[in-house]
Amino acid sequence: MKIVVLVKQVPDSGADRNLRSDDNTVDRASASNVINEMDEYAIEEALRLQEAHGGEVVILTVGPDRATESIRKALSMGPDSAVHVVDDALHGSCAVATSKVLAAAIAQQGADLVICGAESTDGRVQVLPHMIAERLGIAALTGARKLTVDGTSLTIERQTDEGYEVVTASTPALVSVWDTINDPRYPSFKGIMAAKKKPLQTLSLGDLGIAAGEVGFDGATSTVVEHSKRPPRQAGNKIDAGDDGGSKLVEYLASEKFV
Amino acid sequence: MAEVLVVVEASQGVAKKVTLEMLTLARTLGDVSAVVLGGSAAALADKLGEFGASKIYAAEGEDLDGYLVAGKATVLAALIQRVSPAAVLLASSQEGKEIAGRVAVKLDNGLLTDVVALDADGVGTQVVFAGSTIVKSKVSKGLPIVTVRPNSLTPTPAPATPSVEQVEVALTDKDKLAKVVERKVEAKGARPELAEASIVVSGGRGVGSADNFKLVEELADLLGGAVGASRAAVDSGFYPHQFQVGQTGKTVSPQLYVALGISGAIQHRAGMQTSKTIIAVNKDAEAPIFELADFGVVGDLFKVVPQAAEEIRKRK
Ligand SMILES: Cc1cc2nc3c(=O)[nH]c(=O)nc-3n(C[C@H](O)[C@H](O)[C@H](O)COP(=O)(O)OP(=O)(O)OC[C@H]3O[C@@H](n4cnc5c(N)ncnc54)[C@H](O)[C@@H]3O)c2cc1C
């Protein structure tokens, strides 16, 4: 089984993040960039499947040059190789266009199974998995908290607002995972050294048969009109609990008409 | 007036609050038609009419209910092509976003997700990066397909008597690849749903154990609110994941958010920053949660919360 894991480099969600004032895109140059956290769970899940069933694990990233750091980090966890789609024309791409590029690269790889994080911490858009599956005409099992593979048949469990549901499909398919699915491993020293020598193939849009005008700002299906910093919340009244902290809390609730 | 489609989100035969919010929003944009994908439209008709739907498109059947969203997207895309609406609104839920994503690809159309406001020109407002940045954006290719974040506006009734049109469900094998074999409903009692609740009481690592979460639940019930949890509380097994608030959990925007034993890490704030009023109880006076709390109590939650509960009971 060939498993392709989608990995996105994102600005660290624990640090200050900004949009650029010149072109309204995510400011990646001044941010500290990391692997989208949810993608580490996707990598872990792929490695566990490989350990149980054999096969190959390939990392796939669409992103600027500097995403190479995140790709090497992903490889240090254990995957066999990586594909990096990098092209200046991609800058400014919307989700619809990005899904086109990812779908083309997945198709070229001939993946049996695609695993990705349920969402990225920068966009939090959550639409890519179904967009890709729609383009490839394969099943999408999204939001998995548990994945079982038996030959070509896949079963996931996913959380719903009411409880959970169990969903099945056959390969080829795409599975997106939440952070409840496993505990990702830390790269070992050996893994970090090995990652430096693992094959990393770089592809341009041309290699995927996609024209520059279909992506980036030219091909964007939505645009940012303007953006601004939200004024930070102001701290209000802070009291010491003393002996009657609970009563004071309720007094406040009453003054705001919550009780 | 132009027709605006609202894709109905319902739970166990009842329209969710976000559906009523979308109907209210849609009325500012045009003539409102509700689209029911799966389930039963008849059970929902009264409520949809009460909030201003003048028409209901009903697409029903096992082919939609028994599979994940692909078929619903096929039906919606066909409907959009047939009626050429001025805009399409869906809920910013997992399912709403998934349907929107597929429809956008099918129609090669842009989409906006997680909007909290949408004006008549189709410009949507989004709050991103842990609530730090406000973005205004619009669809530049095709019609506005927009997912609306729950609790973004107050739903108001505007009674109409909707006509119901059955919509043909013509699917292919590609729409039936992901089959739902089991749906498990876990009893959650009478509490409102987290994303839609107007009051949320959340507990963090400071709550200390699963058993102690009863304290959080008690306060939530007294206030008629939902229960939330920080990731540290979820990871420690104190409370189930579906109640996690934050960057990798639910985004909530209630009238009142009460944080008990939560430090206020940026990833937690990402999910509750836009709450109207925030109250925090934390024994560490330096905890960052106090930076955004309208009212903060520095103290031991195990003393403060039972006392507050007692006081509320007295007042009732
Ligand atoms: C990519 C990423 C995504 C994340 N997503 C989320 C997310 O979705 N949601 C989320 O919440 N976090 C998320 N986190 C984790 C986040 O960074 C914090 O680790 C987490 O929010 C901490 O939870 P906490 O406040 O409950 O625990 P802590 O930070 O440990 O705080 C516990 C607090 O309880 C107080 N306390 C202890 N005992 C008492 C007592 N008896 N009375 C009163 N106060 C007491 C302490 O003073 C302390 O302030 C994410 C992190 C990353 C890297």
Question: What is the enclosing helix (H) or strand (E) of A149?
Answer: strand A139-150
pLDDT at A236: 94
Asked whether the beta carbons of residue B307 and residue A143 sit closer than 8 angstroms, the reply is no
Assess whether pLDDT exceeds 90 at residue B188. Answer: no
Q: What is the pLDDT of residues A125-153, one digit of tens each?
A: 899 999 999 999 999 999 999 999 999 99
Binding site membership of B231 for ligand 1 (Cβ less than 6 Å)? yes
Q: What is the pLDDT of residues B76-103, one digit of tens each?
A: 999 999 999 999 999 999 999 999 999 9
CA-based nearest residue to B22, from B104, B113, B118, B102: B118
- Confidence category of residue B163, pLDDT binned at 50, 70, 90: very high
Bigger pLDDT: B301 or B130? B301
Asked whether the beta carbons of residue A221 and residue B307 sit closer than 8 angstroms, the reply is no
Residue A229 lies in a domain: no
Residue A255 lies in a domain: no
Mean pLDDT value across chain A:
96
Residue A254 lies in a domain: no
Q: What is the pTM of this model?
A: 0.94
Residue A248 lies in a domain: no
Mean pLDDT, residues B216-242 taken together: 96
- Confidence category of residue B225, pLDDT binned at 50, 70, 90: very high
Beta carbons within 8 Å of A38's beta carbon, 6+ residues apart: A117, A118, A119, A120, A121, A177, A178, A179, B248
Which of the listed residues B263, B297, B303 should we mutate to test ligand 1's pocket, taking the one with most ligand atoms within 8 A of CB? B263
Q: What's CA B28's distance to the chain center, in Å?
A: 20
Binding site membership of B138 for ligand 1 (Cβ less than 6 Å)? no
Residue A245 lies in a domain: no
Residue A81 lies in a domain: yes
pLDDT at A149: 98
- Confidence category of residue A29, pLDDT binned at 50, 70, 90: confident
Residue A153, token pair as written in the block: 């048949």
Q: Tell me the C-alpha distance between B282 and A240, whole Å.
A: 10
Among candidates B141, B186, B247 on the partner chain, residue whose Cβ is nearest the Cβ of A162: B186
Mean pLDDT, residues A117-122 taken together: 93
Contacts of A35 in chain B (CB under 8 A): none
Mean pLDDT, residues A23-44 taken together: 93
Q: Tell me the C-alpha distance between A88 and A67, whole Å.
A: 13
Domain count along chain A: 1
Mean pLDDT value across chain B:
96
Task: Residue A41: give the domain boundaries.
Answer: 2-219
pLDDT at A219: 96
Structural domains of chain B sorted by starting position, each given as residue range(s) with its CATH number in brackets: 3-176 (3.40.50.620), 194-314 (3.40.50.1220)
pLDDT at B219: 98
Which of the listed residues A10, A32, A37, A180 should we mutate to test ligand 1's pocket, taking the one with most ligand atoms within 8 A of CB? A37
Residue B295 pairs in a beta bridge with A237, B279
Lowest mean per-residue pLDDT among A67-71, A162-166, B296-300: A162-166
